[in-house]
Every structure is written in C-alpha cells, then in structure tokens.
Structure 1
Amino acid sequence: MSRTIYLTATTLDGFIADPDHSLEWLFVVDAGDHEGDHARFMEGVGAVIMGASTYEWIVDHEDGRWGYEQPSWVMTHRDLPEVDGDVRFVAADDDAALLAVHDEMLEAAAGKDIWVVGGGELAARLVDVGRLDEIEVSIAPVTLGAGKPLLPRHVELTTLEVDRTVDFAHIRYRVGR
C-alpha cells in the first residue's frame, strides 16, 4: 500500500530553505554516509512531487540533469525549464484538483510510496486534504532565523522513530494522532 511521505531536512528553527530559496545551510553540517539510506528509501518510491522552487533548485544544481527515474509532478503556475525525464507540470489550485493529482500519482506509483520532495506549503496542503501519511525530517544543528518553513501551519503528529547520523537528528512521524 502506498504511503505519501514528506522526507526533508530542516534547520533547528524549522526552515527548509533560506529567504532566497538557498539550501547552502545544508552543506555546512556533517550528514555522514547517508547515500545508502537515501538509496534504500528511493527503492520504495514510485512517484515524486515537489513545488516549483524545489524543482528550480534541483535543475540549477544538477546542471539540468534529472536524477529521478520515477514519474515526477511539479506544482507550479510558472513556465519552468524542461529536463529529460518524466516530469509533469501541474497547477492544482483547489482541493479537488490536488486530490485528482494525488490519485494520478497513486496509480503511477503502483503500490510504491509517493515522495513529497520539497515545499512545506505543498506538504501542508496534502495534510489539509488527508493525503500526507508520514513526515521524515532530518534536523540540522543550524539556525537561519527566517526562510521557507518546514510546515507553515499547525499539524499534529505521532512520533514513530528517532535516530541520529553524525550532526543530524532523524525523526519519523505519522501525520495525525
């Protein structure tokens, strides 16, 4: 059964990017050898969804290469540069449209999980429509004081797992109580 999982990193004060959409804060801390964990996570992912800012950051920092084999949805109202890969640009302005996109992703995922790559607002919208199952967050010992929030509104969670890798605390939550 597919789960929809918001897997991301955040600063100690709850920001996933600085006010300029930069993730440079992420590279000043030691994440240890997380490549193996990420590869195992990706084996279970059948579809990917992200916001436009996350997509632009990936394209800018990967020299236009697309690193995902899974079908990917980008929530946007803007014209964005295209990459080689199965990337679908959509604007789901209301709950019904977001639910329709999520249903399409569930079908494409074929029983595997859906990864919400980035966009705190996108993750919060999925909570609002009852379609976000888990949040897996890696908390870095860095503060920004401002930026793009991990989640921009109240969400109640149940802690499922706590772990540590060098400088990061990893916590997995189930959405809701």
Structure 2
Amino acid sequence: MTNKRIELFIAVSLDGYIADGEGSVGWLEEIEGDGDNGYMTFLNEIDTVVMGHTTYKQLFTLTDTFPYSKKHVYVFSNEKAGTKDEYAAFVNGSVKSWLENTEGKSIWLVGGAQLVKKFLDENQIDRFIITVAPIILGDGIPLFEKGTRELLHLEAVEKYGQFTQMTYRKKE
C-alpha cells in the first residue's frame, strides 16, 4: 500500500445498486436527505478525484458546472488514456502504477462499479463510505460485481434524513 489514502464515497439503493437499469442516479433525488449528507465535509478532505469514463460522462448530464475543478481529476479510460481535456487527465493500466505517478494524497474513488472492482482487486481501497438510500430498485448496476469478497470493519454509522451512511475500513 502507498502513503496515499483511497476512499470510496458512494450512494447505493437498499438492494445494492449505484444506478438503475438505464444507468441513471436520478432516483436519489426522490429521497429526503439532511443537508448534503456529509458530501461537502468529505469533499473538503480530499485533493484528488478518480472515476471511470462512464461516471465522468454522466457528470455532465447532472450539472451545468464541473464540480471538481479545484481537485486533481483522473479518469480511467481505455479509449482516451494518455490524453487530457479541460477537466481531467485520462489514464489506464494498473491502479498501483497510477498511484505511484499521481501527486494526490487523499483520493476519492467516485465510481463506477468496474473501477471499484479494479481498485479492490489491487487491494487499494482504505475506507468505504457507503450511503444507503431507502429505495429498492430491483435492477441496475451493482456497487460490487458478482464474486467480490472483502472483509470490512464498521467504524461509524450516521443518519442523514432517510439516508444511512456507514463507514468501513478494511479488516486487518
């Protein structure tokens, strides 16, 4: 492991999906939260954001302004690796290799599921902050791919309106 801290901060449905069958997270808007559910506090603690290409593209459908302009932003992408746009650098390859070459120390793994699996496969997630929404989608994109196995230690539970946020660390 590196001296960098990688944290997964993500919302899921009660049945474990991060997006519905069409890839949308619009269902999160249906649920009464409490403020920003700890988002701004978390965002202020990190210096780097990393996400998959699908998640990156979806950001532009959710907001008019890029929300991470004051952070280092990296997007894992097979098709655009080695390039940059005005918001992010596109990378690929191993997570470990990327971590060795990035200046970030406190890194937010935004998603999606394939990138979460890649980080898990390389044992590179230090903390899991999972906010559970009280909705059953029945279908969609699961947070953890089938066959994923990781033993975690519960550190904290917070309630934000109808959301429950659980913080876990890897079990040593």
- The TM-score normalised by the length of structure 1 is 0.85
Aligned length: 165
In the alignment, is residue 145 of structure 1 matched against residue 138 of structure 2?
yes
Unaligned runs of at least 5 residues, structure 2: none
- The TM-score normalised by the length of structure 2 is 0.87
Aligned-pair identity in percent equals 25
Match of 2:110 in 1: 117
Which of 29, 33, 36 pairs up with 2:35?
33
- Partner of 2:7, secondary structure, is strand
Report 1:122-133 matches (<5 A): 122-133=115-126
Structure 1 Cα separation of the partners of residues 80 and 33 of structure 2: 34
| Deviations, residues 29-73 of structure 1 (Å, cap 9, x unaligned) | 0111126x322211210111001111111012223x321111111
RMSD (CA atoms): 1.9
Unaligned runs of at least 5 residues, structure 1: none
Match of 2:92 in 1: 91
Match of 1:18 in 2: 20
Structure 1 Cα separation of the partners of residues 143 and 113 of structure 2: 5
| Deviations, residues 68-88 of structure 1 (Å, cap 9, x unaligned) | 1111111112359x7533x01
Structure 2 Cα separation of the partners of residues 71 and 38 of structure 1: 17
Q: Letter of the aligned partner of 1:24 in structure 2?
A: G
